[in-house]
Each structure stands twice: as structure tokens, then as C-alpha cells.
């Protein structure tokens, strides 16, 4: 299990570094998804199956969808279609595909050769317990995270609106849409 943990951790570090260093937002998002999935696998290997599931559902699912929405919102204009065509080249998908493939191979190995399936039924918490935990001792953390995401979305909208207004020749301040 230590080797699997180290492999998943290494994939998480490499994918995170690639997500930070990419100039294209969509490519950075692809590496971010791989990084979040690798961290979820590390949580699973540590015996925290519920945290691993939350990592996949909340971060790799909902948050990345929010980021994709912001990227789509910021790519307004006539040149957006040409940019999207450049994103579809297979060469640009090679890095995330290789890292995700390594994670898939690692999960396959763990499922077939070790006791990873034992985590599936261990100490499962129902929705009632999850709700009591999230809205009990972790209420402030949940609310702070939601406010941070809302502030990021509003900020991205504001920046996108100014960029679009600047392209159209307006100042972007006080203009009604």
C-alpha cells in the first residue's frame, strides 16, 4: 500500500505542478482534475473512503465544473471558436491522458491484487450523519468555502465583463447589459 500511496502522491504532485504552470486554462483544468483524483486515491488508501468520495464529488466534480463555467464565460468573442479548435488537438491531451491512465492502472492493480475492496463497506456513513457533521461542527468551514467560491465567481464575471467591454471599445464601468 505504501508504494501505491507514493505513486498516487507523485502523480498528484506532477499534475498539480503542470496545472500551475500551464498558460491555457483548459489544460490547467485537465491537470487539476487528475491531481484531485490522485489525492482522492491517497485518501482511499489511508482508509478515509468518505473523504475520498467527497474529494471526487465536490472538488473533481462540482468545483471543476464551476471553473469550466468561468473559462467558458471569459472566452467570449469571435476568436473564442478558433481557440477552442486549437484545444482539440490530440497532442495537448497527451499529458493528462498519461497521468490519468497511470491512476487507472494503479486502481486496477489495487482492486485485483490487494484488499482495497475492504474499504467499500467499512464504516459507511449515511446522509443523515453527513448532514449533521457538515452543518454541525463544520458549519463555519462549509459556509466559508461557499462564500469563497461565490466571491471567485463574481470576480471572474467582473473581469470577463471588463475584458469583453474593452474589446467592444467601452470602459466596462457602469455599462448595462
Supply φ then ψ for residue 33, to 5 degrees: -60, -45
Q: Are residues 97 and 34 in the same domain?
A: yes
Cα angle, residue 63 at apex, residues 27 and 33 outer, rounded to 5°: 40
pLDDT at 10: 92
Q: Are residues 157 and 118 in the same domain?
A: no
pLDDT at 116: 56
Q: Are residues 156 and 87 in the same domain?
A: no
Q: Are residues 51 and 12 in the same domain?
A: yes
* Residue at grid coordinates 471599445: 169
Cα gap 11→18, rounded to integer Å: 10
Is the Cβ–Cβ distance between 31 and 64 less than 8 Å? Answer: no
How many structural domains are present in the chain?
2
Mean model confidence pLDDT for the chain:
76
Q: Are residues 115 and 166 in the same domain?
A: no
User: Which residues touch 6 (CB under 8 Å, ≥6 apart)?
Assistant: none
Print the domain residue range for 89.
Answer: 2-124
> pTM here?
0.58
Supply φ then ψ for residue 79, to 5 degrees: -85, -5
Q: Are residues 141 and 118 in the same domain?
A: no
Q: Are residues 117 and 129 in the same domain?
A: no
Which of the four pLDDT bands, split at 50, 70 and 90, describes residue 17? very high
Q: Are residues 36 and 88 in the same domain?
A: yes
Segment 79-132, tens digit of pLDDT = 666 766 666 677 777 888 888 888 888 878 877 776 655 555 455 666 777 777
Amino acid at each position: 500500500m505504501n508504494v501505491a500511496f507514493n505513486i498516487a502522491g507523485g502523480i498528484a504532485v506532477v499534475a498539480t505542478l503542470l496545472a500551475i504552470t500551464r498558460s491555457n486554462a483548459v489544460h490547467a483544468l485537465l491537470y487539476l482534475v487528475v491531481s484531485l483524483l490522485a489525492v482522492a486515491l491517497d485518501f482511499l488508501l489511508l482508509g478515509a473512503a468518505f473523504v475520498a468520495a467527497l474529494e471526487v464529488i465536490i472538488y473533481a466534480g462540482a468545483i471543476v465544473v464551476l471553473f469550466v463555467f468561468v473559462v467558458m464565460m471569459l472566452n467570449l468573442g469571435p476568436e473564442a471558436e478558433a481557440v477552442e479548435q486549437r484545444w482539440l488537438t490530440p497532442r495537448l491531451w497527451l499529458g493528462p491522458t498519461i497521468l490519468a491512465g497511470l491512476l487507472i492502472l494503479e486502481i486496477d492493480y489495487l482492486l485485483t491484487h490487494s484488499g482495497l475492496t475492504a474499504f467499500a463497506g467499512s464504516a459507511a456513513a449515511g446522509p443523515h450523519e453527513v448532514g449533521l457533521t457538515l452543518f454541525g461542527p463544520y458549519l463555519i468551514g462549509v459556509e466559508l468555502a461557499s462564500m469563497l467560491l461565490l466571491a471567485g465567481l463574481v470576480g471572474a464575471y467582473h473581469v470577463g465583463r471588463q475584458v469583453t467591454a474593452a474589446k467592444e471599445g467601452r470602459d466596462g464601468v457602469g455599462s448595462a447589459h
